[in-house]
């Protein structure tokens, strides 16, 4: 088993434990994006630093499909943003691991998400801002396939193409699990 396969397996186990402990969550959408997140965070794709989450020149990641927060939390914990033991507090009163990512509470979360369709627009705006300011860093947005039915997603895609945003990557988790 490769190192990335082992990491993805560990993340999936944590996702299932978290959701079972919370008795609430979205296992399908969380499990289906685990390989993508593993590749980004542990495969050398995303430039990030858990000790300095807001470092200049970092890459930005937006989980447009905010309901898959358990997957992002597992990745961030295993990457060192916060203790792995904290994962079992998912959706509990007073936790920073809410049902959808909250950038005011959780280190490594760039933006609070959950309203489907908005993630790519936020990512495109960030990518455009970085380009206009001449700053380093790429922007990645992970969208769900169902979310792509939102008109705002296609408006953001057209804006990105019009602005020639070569620092933006949109990834669609085509899992066919629309609820």
SS3 labels along 72-141 = HHHHHHHHCCCCHHHHHHCCCCCCCCCCCCCCCCCCCCCCCCCCCCCHHHHHHHHHHHHHHHCCCCCEEE
pLDDT digits (tens, 9 = 90+) for 68-118: 999 999 999 999 999 999 999 999 999 999 999 999 999 999 999 988 889
Instruction: Give mean pLDDT, residues 128-138.
Output: 97
Q: Is the pLDDT of residue 15 over 70?
A: yes
Give me the pLDDT at residue 151, please: 94
Q: What is the share, in percent, of the chain residues with pLDDT greater than 70?
A: 99
Q: Is the pLDDT of residue 28 over 80?
A: yes
pLDDT digits (tens, 9 = 90+) for 148-174: 999 999 999 999 999 999 999 999 999
Torsion of CA 40, 116, 50, 8, to 10 degrees: -40
Domain boundaries, the chain: 3-173
The token duo for 36 is 């993508």
Give me the pLDDT at residue 118, please: 93
Write down the CATH number for the domain with range 3-173: 3.40.50.970
pLDDT digits (tens, 9 = 90+) for 33-60: 999 999 999 999 999 999 999 999 999 9
Give CA–CA dist 123/22, Å, rounded: 30
Ramachandran sector of residue 154 (left: φ over 0; alpha: ψ -120 to 50; beta: rest):
alpha
pTM of the shown model: 0.96
Burial (CB count <10 Å: 0-12, 13-18, 19+), residue 80? middle
């Amino acid at each position: 088993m490769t190192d990335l396969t082992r990491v993805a397996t560990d993340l999936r186990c944590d996702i299932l434990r978290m959701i079972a402990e919370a008795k609430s969550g979205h296992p399908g959408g969380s499990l289906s994006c685990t390989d993508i997140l593993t590749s980004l965070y542990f495969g050398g794709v995303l430039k990030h630093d858990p000790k300095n989450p807001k470092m200049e020149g970092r890459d930005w990641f937006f989980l447009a499909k905010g309901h898959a927060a358990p997957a992002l939390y597992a990745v961030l914990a295993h990457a060192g943003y916060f203790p792995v033991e904290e994962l079992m507090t998912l959706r509990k009163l007073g936790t920073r691991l809410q049902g959808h990512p909250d950038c005011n509470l959780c280190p490594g979360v760039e933006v609070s998400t959950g309203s489907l369709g908005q993630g790519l627009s936020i990512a495109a705006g960030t990518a455009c801002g970085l380009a206009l300011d001449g700053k380093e860093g790429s922007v990645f947005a992970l969208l769900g396939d169902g979310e792509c039915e939102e008109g705002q997603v296609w408006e953001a895609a057209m804006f990105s193409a019009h602005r020639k945003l070569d620092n933006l990557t949109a990834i669609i988790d085509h899992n066919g699990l629309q609820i």
